[in-house]
Structure 1
Amino acid sequence: MSSNADQAAGLTAEQVMMRDVAREFTRAEVTPLANRLDPEKADIPRALIHKMGDLGFFGIMIPQAYGGLGLGAFEYCLVAEELAKGWMSVASLIARGNGFYRSIPGEGAARDAKIAAMAQGRYLGAAALSEPQTGSDLSSVACRARRDGDEWVITGNKYWCTFADGADFISVLCRIDDPDAPDGKAGTVSISVEKPQGELPKGVTGSSIPKIGYFGWKTWELRFEDVRAPVAPASDRGSAPGRAFQATAAALGLARAHTAARSIGLAQAALDHAIGYARERVQFGQPISDFQAIRFKIATMATEIEAARQLMYHTCRLLDGGAAATSETSMVKYFASEMSERVTSEALQILGGAGYTTLHPIERYWRDARLTKIFEGTSEIQQRIISDALLGKPTRR
């Protein structure tokens, strides 16, 4: 049943039910697993992925005609927030379905079957966008794709490709190798390279990148050496010919709302843990939750979380209404990620020395919150997008 707060926030009974299913799943399945596996830097088990697929988490935004739920960004972010309370990597994992179904290679009934499998978490994607010398400026990708009949031939390096080994295909952003292009600047293309689960594609070598967080899956540096993949049919979904970068940039709006949801989930989990600890921790003869310094910290943390959540709700409704919401998605990603680092750090401070141990999950929330300020466009990139919308592009002299 919806609470008064849920009703005031405009959540429908169906949305509340979906959120609560994700909340209970996180409590029973995700959090215990994260507490055990994150310290070991172990991978998310396939068994958990299959359970998530059975609940429909990978198909929230996949149309019903393909076996998905046919819902929107709002439901997607509701579920992501709850999953992130247990383990941000699990909350990120659902994007490997919802955010990837348009990139599935093939055509006809065979492709439809893959989309249906994706909605069940049985066929998932990964993205190879960034490169060793290309971070936020994806317009400068140097990985090349040469057309050879009905195939693309890919050569180059990619960086920050998470789940490259576990996915069923990798969507690779490439520069089209066309010596006849004006000024030598050919367009871009996204190429889906299929592969077996647990392996890299044939012709691809790589190594996992040592990270300080975001455990549960590996993030890869990859080298493509004459890797072949079919050219997508002309009627295929996706970007206009040569404009994959523009399509990728447009798709980042949803990804940024998703990052905001993950940031909020991390912050809420840290706050909840800090409140529980403050009520039990006794110093100077009384629970530290009686001290004004702690109470004011908690009040500020809760306020910032709720502000971010309401901005996320607003942004998701804009997206579901068909708006590009370019500024709003950058605003919510920027605000929520910055908030999440502050709140998780304050939660660690409330726990004192205990917070700086692996005996409590606060350190995991803190490490993962720090990443939200970097991926899907850094905080500085979001500030640039927002300021450009307000002021126009900077004057070049």
Structure 2
Amino acid sequence: MINLFVKTEPQKKWMQKLYEKETKFKNTSVQTDEFSIFPKDNIQDLIDMGYSSITLPKAYGGEGLGVYEMILFQETLASFDENTALSIGWNFGVVGDIFEQKLWKQKDLESFSKEVLNGALTNRSVSEAQTGSPTRGGRPGTNAVKKDGYWEISGRKSFTTASPVLTYFLTSAWIEEKQKVGFFLLHKDLEGLSIDETWDVISMKGTASHDLVLQNVKVDESKLVELPDVPKGGKFNGWLLHIPACYLGIAQAARDYAVHFANTHSPNSLNGPISQLPNVQQLLGEIDLALTQARHLIYSVAEAYDDESRRGYLTNEVGVVKHTVTNSAITIVDKAMRIVGAKSLQRGNPLQRYYRNVRAGLHNPPADDMTIRNLALSAIEQKKSKALF
């Protein structure tokens, strides 16, 4: 089904590279989940093939691939191993957004791009236990105080996905003297920076989304790389579509397992596999219907986002995609389990892993209630257009 969305030679090239890792990544996914192991080897494989820098613009030495390609590759990768996909996906989102929006000074972008090309990984560290999701506007408890030519930063951040391999933590902090939230680029080797291994969950166990602990971390004043005048608030950029792409990949993997099971499982009460049963066919048809709808939605929005002439017309579409795809993925996995039956709950069955992991999507931004509220507010505040074009 996904081949329908492969349109260019660079896309084909990278899809082929990813499929060369399919067997390895699928084989290690069981241990990753069972023992909550971060898939370092998988991430290193991706870095070695240059995958981690593909969203870096060509002007900075990257391949300049857009949101559409990111979704195409991330969905595929997630169907092999969802922990690997979500972990590398956050790096894509940060790099893509920073360079697309030119959020930093030119010299900082040039310096950072060289590190990205050399395999450096980064993620934003914004969530905190007391503030909850940063998308809801809470002020960070992490504080930055300016002293003699440097900043001193203290605080604790939650949900720092891929923490064992991150080179940089793009960390939000409240700057009292400016009465603003700023973002600091913190290198992993800074004194006072440590990782507290707090990640103890039943979903996405291998993402190592531990706490980042900052104890009087001192950095040069130039490491304050972002000081936005207006926080982004509820507006979500297209690079966040790596999130629903991951859960779409999980749904595809669940679907493939259910189809294989239906075609090969033959109880002695039947003269053939259960795929001949009307109720099984109904479930399989509903699964593919939901997959088709979700996939066309996410790729349509990604294509519009990559087109600068259309990007400005997008409003709540990114949130709609995340809401629709994530909830569809949950439904798809549920129906796959209904086809397989009680065997789907066995620890050795991949469906029980998909069932746990796909639900994590509900807690990634933006939350469902925010998406629905934003749609309502947009409808209420919408003004009549003077012209169609």
- Provide TM-score, normalisation by structure 2: 0.86
Q: How far is 1:112 from its partner?
A: 4.3
Gaps of 5+ in 1: none
Residues 106/331 of structure 1: CA separation in 2 closer, same or farther (3 Å cut): closer
State whether structure 2 residue 339 is matched by structure 1 residue 344. Answer: no
For 1:12-161, list aligned pairs within 5 A.
Answer: 12-22=8-18, 24-45=19-40, 47-101=41-95, 102=98, 112=110, 114-119=112-117, 122-136=119-133, 137-161=136-160
**Of 215, 226, 247, which aligns to 2:216?**
226
Matching residue's letter, 2:256: D
Residues 40/21 of structure 1: CA separation in 2 closer, same or farther (3 Å cut): same
**Of 347, 367, 374, which aligns to 1:378?**
367
Does the 8 A contact of 2:290 with 2:328 survive in 1?
yes
- Distance of 2:6 and 2:15 partners within structure 1: 14
Does the 8 A contact of 1:129 with 1:138 survive in 2?
no
- Distance of 2:346 and 2:117 partners within structure 1: 38
Runs of 4+ that moved beyond 6 A: 103-111
State whether structure 2 residue 247 is matched by structure 1 residue 263. Answer: yes
Residues 91/25 of structure 1: CA separation in 2 closer, same or farther (3 Å cut): farther
State whether structure 2 residue 294 is matched by structure 1 residue 308. Answer: yes
Matching residue's letter, 2:218: R
Does the 8 A contact of 2:74 with 2:89 survive in 1?
no
Q: Which string of whole-angstrom CA distances, capped at 9 and with x for unpartnered residues, describes residues 306-363 of structure 1? A: 1111111111112111315331101110000000111111112211111001222111
Q: Which string of whole-angstrom CA distances, capped at 9 and with x for unpartnered residues, describes residues 252-293 of structure 1? A: 423431112112111111000000011111132231111111
Q: Which residue of 2 aligns with 1:209?
A: 199
Q: How far is 1:6 from its partner?
A: 4.7
Q: Which residue of 1 aligns with 2:386?
A: none
Residues 274/201 of structure 1: CA separation in 2 closer, same or farther (3 Å cut): farther
**Of 343, 346, 349, which aligns to 1:360?**
349
Residues 21/370 of structure 1: CA separation in 2 closer, same or farther (3 Å cut): same
- Distance of 1:296 and 1:206 partners within structure 2: 47
Q: Which residue of 1 aligns with 2:377?
A: 388
What is the DSSP-based 3-state SS (H/G/I as helix, E as strand, rest coil) of the residue aligned with 2:316? helix
RMSD: 2.9
Residues 233/287 of structure 1: CA separation in 2 closer, same or farther (3 Å cut): closer
Q: Which residue of 2 aligns with 1:190?
A: 183
- Distance of 1:124 and 1:79 partners within structure 2: 18
Does the 8 A contact of 2:67 with 2:302 survive in 1?
yes
Matching residue's letter, 1:191: F
Q: Which residue of 1 aligns with 2:278?
A: 292
Of 223-232 and 325-334, deviating more is 223-232
The alignment of Structure 1 onto Structure 2 pairs a total of residues equal to 371
Q: How far is 1:10 from its partner?
A: 7.5
- Distance of 1:10 and 1:75 partners within structure 2: 9
Q: Identity of counterpart residues, as a percentage?
A: 20
Of 331-340 and 186-195, deviating more is 186-195
- Distance of 2:14 and 2:298 partners within structure 1: 17
Gaps of 5+ in 2: 383-389
Does the 8 A contact of 1:255 with 1:376 survive in 2?
no
